[in-house]
Structure 1
Amino acid sequence: MTPRRTLLALALAACAALPVQAQVGDWPKRQPVRLVSVFPPGGSVDQVARILAQQLTQQLGQTVIVENKVGASGSIGTGFVAHAAPDGYTYAVVFDTHGVNPSLIPNMPFDTKKDLAPVALLGTAPMVIATPVASEYKSFGDVVAASKAKKNVNFGTVGSGSLGHLAMALLGKNGGLEWTHVPYKGGGPLMQDAVAGHVPLSVASIVVTKPHIDSKRLRPLAVTTSKRSPDLPDVPTVAESGYAGFDAPAWWGVLTSARVPPEIVRRMNEEINKALKNPEVAGKLQGQGMTIVGGTPEAAKAFIDQQIDTWAVVVRENNIKAE
């Protein structure tokens, strides 16, 4: 290439980069920022998105709005964000189903790992394995003993393919345990049957379960995270109950299109981390049963990729199908 052509090529490349540089430089002044809640109003994802939006509006000096784009276990809203303009103004607030969907939902119109960029892992929370207070199960060890004795052990979750379902499938596979899954249409119906004694075990989020523990209608047997929950400090982990290394947390994260300039992703990550350290925001999120995590986009990606890979194996080995 001649010197003149080399200079021309460099000039064209510089011109092509100008819109992106301008876009990065004036973010987020150009327009409101959208947080897409991939689940309906009233659920934990929507509540987390609204808590975050209020604080980010103050920090950014720009309106941050929450839009609900729901369906297909959160994949519809996530797909919308994956295909949105890569200008740094559209983000998805997702739940742990994000790590399960790639293996449960065939032919999703986006590649979870390639088309989305994790911005931040907001936090994690345990699920609680609980039983009615009148139950014969006084500890998780009693449940294990019943299973090994080939008794019919049933457990209910919020749905087929839910994290609770997969966690119990993983535990059964690794521990040589047999039990029967009873799927419900959400946490409300599950809790109704659990407190009435119609299902001997429930596996659901701490947010859904704790009110019934507090009212002495359910007895907690174990939590599914690697560490005990601050909300239930006397309840052992599954790992403590003889299954070392077991960890199946619920989690919340923020993602954006993988085509968004990394400089904007980094700046949004910094703002989210700042918001998570605000005492009022932290208090509200902890009220959802969340243990706040934060950290870098790289740490979020490593966590989410690990979740995707872990649950893909569980889905495949147990032939689990979505409802």
Structure 2
Amino acid sequence: MKRRQLLQAASAAVALPGLALAQSYPAKPIRYIVPVAPGGGSDMIARVVTERWGKALGQPFTVDNQGGGGGVVACQTASRAAPDGYTLLQGYVATHGTTPATRRVPYDAVKDFTPIGMIGATPNVLAINANVPAKDVKEFIDYVKRNPGKLSYGSAGPGSLTHLTMELFKQETGAFMLHIPYRGIAPAINDVLGGQTQAMFPGLAAALPHLRSGRMRALCVTGTQRSPQLKDIPTMDEVGFKGFDAMQWYGSVGPAGMPADIVRRLNETQVAVLKAPDLAEKLAGEAVDPWPMTPEQFGQYMRADIARWTALAKARNIRLDE
């Protein structure tokens, strides 16, 4: 009888290998690669989320910051890891959106990764120097068109979300502004404040202090819903630009080929963490709203984001490796 029971148990384990694997997972700490240096907003999001996520899984996460090559180093490391659920990556709009759209990278942002789930997103805000005589988007567009070649906008660098979002705005409005790229968001904002440039599309967290001080004026935000932090500011969708939902987003992925049951376990525990009210309060410091999704929804979102920026880069002749 005992021998028969052992054979039945062994047969069940063979028949349901994924189930047995998921039930024993995780059995050790999980490496969580973050493609930026320690201390920034993306790093903070990773540490806040993984602290709670590790408790939900019963094993801690070890945050591994790999900031080289604008996320390329981290993506290569993660994509080459064993697909066993013990190495994950915090992908974001650059690694799985704007960068693959504007330059050659040594990884495939879709084929080399397994989507686990969206973490959250923050909008970009169309912000102008307070002295620009425009109170809303329509007035700003009219002002730009009445002054062809006289206005410029800043960005955090060529190919960045701040650059591509404004190029999308120019494409949809027919307005022209000269692009002035900077090495990072801070100097770009400083020149808007000083009047050297007149507008930009910074992330909301970077713009908020200057919007609240009155030195910059917000005209609208990207995304499909108004930001809780700028409740009186309309979305691009509201002012007539349907589908203009460019967002600074963050999500978790693993190497391609991860077992479905492990992906499901990771996603379900991540979603539970994201739905906790105290997490929303923690992420509010970066103006990030939790945005839980299934792995399928997140994969679809990433593919659509890459397609959006690839089409724009082609239309605007933005290619950074030629």
Which residue in the other structure is 1:111 paired with? 108
Counterpart in the other structure of 1:71:
68
Aligned partners of 2:47 and 2:138: how far apart in 1?
40
Given that 2:93 and 2:249 are in contact with CA atoms closer than 8 Å, whether structure 1 keeps it comes out as yes
The answer on 1:166 being equivalent to 2:167 is no
Relative to structure 2, which stretch is displaced further, 187-196 or 300-309? 187-196
Verify the 8 A CA contact 2:153 2:180 in the aligned structure 1.
Answer: yes
- 2-side partners of 1:78 and 1:17: how far apart? 31
Give the match for residue 6 of structure 2.
none
**SS of the residue aligned with 2:172?**
helix
- Matched with 1:283 is 281
State the match for 1:53 in structure 2.
Answer: 50
1:150 shift after superposition: 4.5
Question: SS at the partner of 1:125?
Answer: strand
Match 1:141 to one of 123, 132, 138: 138
Which of 287, 311, 314 is the equivalent residue of 2:312?
314
Mind listing any 5+ residue stretches in structure 1 that lack a counterpart? 1-10
Percent of pairs with identical residues: 33
**2: distance between equivalents of 1:17 and 1:247?**
42
Change (3 A) 1:77 1:259: same
- The amino acid across from 1:104 in the alignment is T
> Aligned pair count?
308
2:244 to 243, 246, 259: 246
CA contact (8 A) 1:40 1:69 kept: yes
Deviation at 1:117, TM superposition (A): 1.0
Q: Which deviates the most, 157-166 or 234-243?
A: 234-243
Q: Which residue of 1 aligns with 2:269?
A: 271
| Residue matched to 1:232 | 230
Q: Distance in 1 between matches of 2:15 and 2:99?
A: 36
Shift of 1:268: 0.3
- 2:291 — aligned with what? 293
Do structure 1's residue 38 and structure 2's residue 52 form an aligned pair? no
The code of the aligned residue for 1:179 comes to M
- Give CA-to-partner distance per residue, 1:102-126, whole Å, 9 cap, x none: 22221x2222111101100112211
Q: Aligned partners of 1:204, 1:246: CA distance in 2, in Å?
A: 15
Alpha-carbon shift at residue 321 of structure 1 (Å): 3.1
Q: Which runs of 5+ in 2 are unaligned?
A: 1-9
Q: What is the TM-score normalised by the length of structure 2?
A: 0.89
The answer to whether the Cα contact below 8 Å between 1:139 and 1:221 also exists between their aligned partners in 2 is yes
- 1:215 aligned to which of 213, 216, 228: 213
Determine the C-alpha separation between the residues in 2 that align with 1:124 and 1:222.
16
Instruction: After TM superposition, give the deviation of residue 57 of structure 1 in Å.
Output: 2.2
Q: Is the contact made by 2:280 and 2:289 (CA closer than 8 Å) also made in structure 1?
A: no
| 1:172/1:178 contact within 8 Å kept | yes
- Give the 3 Å change call, closer, same or farther, for CA 145–311 of structure 1 in structure 2: same
Q: Which SS does the other structure have where 1:256 is aligned?
A: strand
TM-score (norm 1): 0.89
Mean Cα displacement is larger for which, 190-199 or 145-154? 145-154
Instruction: Tell me the distance in 2 between the aligned counterparts of 1:16 and 1:111.
Output: 33
Could you tell me how far apart the structure 1 residues matched to 2:308 and 2:75 are?
A: 20
**How far is the alpha carbon of 1:17 from its aligned partner?**
8.9
Q: 2:177 aligns with which of 170, 179, 185?
A: 179
Give, in whole Å, the separation in 1 of the partners of 2:224 and 2:88.
Answer: 29
Structure 1 residue 237, shift from structure 2 partner: 1.8
